[in-house]
Structure 1
Amino acid sequence: MKNFIQKLPKAELHLHIEGSFEPELMFALAQRNKIEIPYKSIEEVKEAYKFSCLQDFLNIYYAGASVLINEQDFYELTMAYFTHCHEENIVHTEIMFDPQTHTERGIAFETVINGIQRARNEAHEKWNISSLLIMSYLRHLSEEAAFETLKQSLPYKHLIKAVGLDSSENGNPPSKFYNVFEASAKEGYVLLAHAGEEGPAEYVWEAIDGLKIVRIDHGNNCLTDDKLVAEIIKRDMALTVCPLSNLELKVVTDLKQHPLKTMLNKGIKATVNSDDPAYFGGYLNQNFIAIQEALNLSKEDLVVLAKNSFQYSLLDENSKTELMNLVDEYALKN
């Protein structure tokens, strides 16, 4: 099964580039940029990567991001992630980035996106990995701040496919951002949002009806509402599920209790993703391996998950068909 997963062609649809920040690179950039971080060694950084909830994780996530200063830093961070993609047979990825995490501390939007874009171009040339960018608004900040980010993004609109909504979910419902999502749609951005990770099913309703998103990031708590499940299936919306993230942030206490198989059995189009792999103990293949073992998923289940990752990507229909055929060919031979 591990070998089958390793070589299975797949896409990743839920990945925060700042969450792929390995301790070694964080430490190196802190020294290069002469930024003080509260850790004396790489081991201390790794020790800090243990959390009891989403907020614990976000605290260190934002502290870590503070060492990203120059275009080269964002390039190196993104290129390190693409190297994992190449090793894990991820042929398409949709990368989320948080401009506000950087612009709030005086880093220019241009610096962030140019560094990421350089890596995207290189990964495509070197390994033929396709990628799209998702600009996430931080939900713990105001809608006014999100509007400012939308404005800053407009000169780079050709590089950004979609907008998303992330950060602390509880107490920050999707309804807080209805206006900026409407404005983002007018600019041509596809709409996505995190909903139902820690927040209730009501937040998922708000995201699909109020924000008018086309794909749900996480969505675990939709299972508490049968009407919502039926609606998600009716609208043919996918969930970007992140097993190791759910385990590390105590959304589930044991992967054997993870709802992924239940979702598939109910007819929900789920996908497997790594979320913030440097912090949660594994990149995409590790998520696949862990959830396969925990839920005893069959090869057929894995093929469904891989095909879902392409079908519910933001690629054009021809590319989706081509990539799903790639999965079928692989499954036939293996």
Structure 2
Amino acid sequence: MTPMTPVAPVTPDQLAAIPRERLPALLRLMPKAELHIHIEGSLEPELMFKLAERNGVQLGYPSVAALRAAYAFTDLQSFLDIYYAGASVLLTEADFSEMAWAYFERAAADKVVHAEIFFDPQTHIERGVPIETVIKGLGQAARRAQAELGLSAKLILCFLRHLSEADALRTLEAALPWRHHFIGVGLDSSECGHPPEKFARVFARSREAGLHLVAHAGEEGPPAYIEAALDVLQVERIDHGVRCTESPALLLRLAASRTPLTVCPLSNVKLRVFDTLARHNLPALLAAGLCVTVNSDDPAYFGGYLNQNLVETFAALPQLGAAEAYALARNSFEASFVPAAQKAAWVAQLDALFTEFALEGAR
């Protein structure tokens, strides 16, 4: 391997020299990691109908257009109802691989160099799909992404919080023989009424198995759910976490610990966490010194993959500039579950790109 030429870190003055009109191009071109993407939520209607036809599954919508028209969610549960119906078309290893590959191609086009993919095995197990079918199909696509796209990809198994902890424990034990295919566990689905404490034992068992731990908290649930995810589940990252601003003590704690938040702006608006992007608290989270990242969540349903989340958010929030763009991309590497040397290599690429844009701005 040829040694990489050292790259000087980009400076605050250089960041300030990048004109605002260059931000959309910079956001699209900067290398980045995506750490909050539900792979089932990347299933576009066109592919959903293709797989339904292939597998003889009857969808409750006559056309792609009719299905898209149903994406008028009023809250998390109204989205989940359609989300689980869409997953019914996934039956074979090839289905899961094809779905993940479609996401990886879009992610690579968005300059995503690393993705940590959530998947929901319980959604499929209860339909009679073996867990190894899910894991092997996704794993095949992840290996192909590395080989053909140069995109690093890892899998994170998520437990559905509206189901019991006993069910989550059974799912974990069924998955452990395939442990080499996934790096961690998470907690998703309906947040309200299902506090993190409900899953203390399964997260303890996952920790014993050497898995990374993350959990959704503070999207619809209160700041106390974030605290419980940290204290009871002992997670390393908080998915969403935007309601942390309601607790000054929690905000200070998250800043001091650099506990990452994987924030999803377009999702937050679609599910009415915020009325508009212009009212999103991303600037406040960054100003408070939190390790915030931007992600796409369920892009097929929420209207945008990673670059669209970034470009639309920066357009709606004029207080965000090149310094915040750099921080978000660098945070995404800091928050990822990869070796330090790989993180440093990606940060060097980031510094080189921002330095190039700064030099253009100075001319």
Q: TM-score range by the shorter chain?
A: over 0.9
Per the alignment, residue 104 of structure 1 pairs with 126
How many corresponding residue pairs? Answer: 334
Provide, for residues 250-282 of structure 1, a one-character-per-residue CA deviation record: whole Å limited to 9, x for no partner: 000011110000000011110000000000000
CA RMSD of aligned residues (A): 0.7
State the SS of the aligned residue for 1:131. strand
Q: Is the 8 A contact 1:8 1:306 kept in 2?
A: yes
| From 320, 325, 329, the counterpart of 1:306 | 329
Deviating more after overlay: 43-52 vs 14-23: 43-52
Per the alignment, residue 20 of structure 1 pairs with 42
State the SS of the aligned residue for 2:89. coil
| From 216, 225, 232, the counterpart of 1:203 | 225
Whichever residue aligns with residue 327 of structure 1, its letter is L
| From 163, 186, 192, the counterpart of 1:141 | 163
- The 4+ residue runs of structure 1 with deviation greater than 3 A are none
Query: How does 1:120-135 map onto structure 2 within 5 Å?
Result: 120-135=142-157
Per the alignment, residue 269 of structure 1 pairs with 291
Whichever residue aligns with residue 165 of structure 2, its letter is E
Cα displacement (A) at 1:10: 0.6
Cα displacement (A) at 1:185: 0.3
Per the alignment, residue 222 of structure 1 pairs with 244
Could you tell me the TM-score, scaled by structure 2's length? 0.91
Q: Is the 8 A contact 1:311 1:324 kept in 2?
A: no
State the SS of the aligned residue for 2:255. helix
Inter-partner Cα distance in structure 1 for 2:223 and 2:264: 17
| From 28, 51, 54, the counterpart of 1:6 | 28
State the SS of the aligned residue for 2:129. coil
| From 203, 206, 212, the counterpart of 1:181 | 203
Could you tell me the TM-score, scaled by structure 1's length? 0.99
Inter-partner Cα distance in structure 2 for 1:159 and 1:31: 29
> Is the radius of gyration larger for structure 1 or structure 2?
2
Inter-partner Cα distance in structure 2 for 1:108 and 1:230: 44
| From 95, 111, 133, the counterpart of 1:89 | 111
Inter-partner Cα distance in structure 1 for 2:48 and 2:103: 13
State the SS of the aligned residue for 2:154. strand
Deviating more after overlay: 155-164 vs 56-65: 155-164
Q: Is the 8 A contact 1:95 1:133 kept in 2?
A: yes
Gaps in structure 2 of 5+ consecutive residues: 1-22, 358-363
State the SS of the aligned residue for 1:66. helix
The question of 1:287 aligning with 2:322 is answered no
Provide, for residues 274-325 of structure 1, a one-character-per-residue CA deviation record: whole Å limited to 9, x for no partner: 0000000000000000110111221111011000000111111111111111
Inter-partner Cα distance in structure 2 for 1:155 and 1:175: 26
Gaps in structure 1 of 5+ consecutive residues: none
Cα displacement (A) at 1:6: 1.3
Per the alignment, residue 60 of structure 2 pairs with 38
Cα displacement (A) at 1:5: 1.3
Cα displacement (A) at 1:132: 1.1
Per the alignment, residue 344 of structure 2 pairs with 321
Cα displacement (A) at 1:47: 0.6
Cα displacement (A) at 1:196: 0.3
Per the alignment, residue 278 of structure 1 pairs with 300
Inter-partner Cα distance in structure 2 for 1:44 and 1:114: 32
Inter-partner Cα distance in structure 2 for 1:190 and 1:72: 27
Inter-partner Cα distance in structure 2 for 1:234 and 1:145: 35
Percentage of identical aligned residues: 48
Cα displacement (A) at 1:168: 0.1
Q: Is the 8 A contact 1:10 1:306 kept in 2?
A: yes
Per the alignment, residue 7 of structure 2 pairs with none
Whichever residue aligns with residue 303 of structure 1, its letter is Y
Inter-partner Cα distance in structure 2 for 1:211 and 1:72: 34
